[in-house]
């Protein structure tokens, strides 16, 4: 996937080009895309109403023995659906605190046909 040219997130102005700052770093792009999918609520994007895992409501939801497995499935399904062309999810670890949910995603980029290097993204939602 060489030749990546994507708008950097969070958005920043690039005075040299008088436009939005762009990135060519695929690992940075993938980690920010994961954060966007996990933190976007379903219905938040008008033209993609089904985009997003929506982690925020899980902070306040009753936490049972089944909650971590359910949340792992939600995260895995959303990342596979929206970013499956870019990465393979290897593992998802979910922890819950008094007023937070923490998700750790281990993934591998689909950059080459051989075995790649694993990367990890940590996403926390606090009240």
- Cβ-Cβ contacts under 8 Å for 100 (sequence gap 6 or more): 59, 124, 125, 126, 127
Q: What pLDDT shows up at residue 96? A: 87
> Which value, to the nearest 10 degrees, does the dihedral of the CA atoms of residues 34, 36, 38, 43 take?
-140
Q: pLDDT band for position 41 (50/70/90)?
A: confident
Average pLDDT over residues 102-109: 92
In this structure, what token pair is assigned to residue 39?
């933190």
Determine whether domain 6-126 maps to CATH 2.40.30.10.
no
* Strand partners for 119: 107
pLDDT digits (tens, 9 = 90+) for 63-103: 889 999 999 999 999 999 999 998 999 999 999 887 888 99
The per-residue pLDDT for 1 is: 42
Q: How far apart are CA 30 and CA 24, in angstroms?
A: 11
CA–CA gap between residue 71 and residue 75 (Å, rounded): 6
């Amino acid at each position: 996937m060489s030749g990546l040219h994507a708008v950097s997130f969070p958005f920043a102005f690039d005075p040299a080009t008088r436009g939005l700052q762009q990135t060519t770093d695929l690992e940075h792009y993938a980690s920010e895309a994961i954060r966007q999918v996990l933190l976007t609520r379903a219905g938040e994007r008008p033209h993609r109403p089904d985009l997003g895992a929506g982690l925020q409501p899980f902070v306040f939801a009753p936490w049972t023995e089944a909650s971590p497995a359910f949340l792992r499935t939600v995260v895995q399904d959303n990342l596979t659906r929206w970013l499956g062309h870019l990465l393979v999810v290897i593992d998802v670890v979910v922890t819950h605190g008094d007023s937070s949910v923490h998700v750790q995603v281990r993934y591998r980029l689909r950059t080459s046909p051989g075995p790649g290097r694993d990367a990890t993204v940590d996403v926390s939602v606090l009240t």
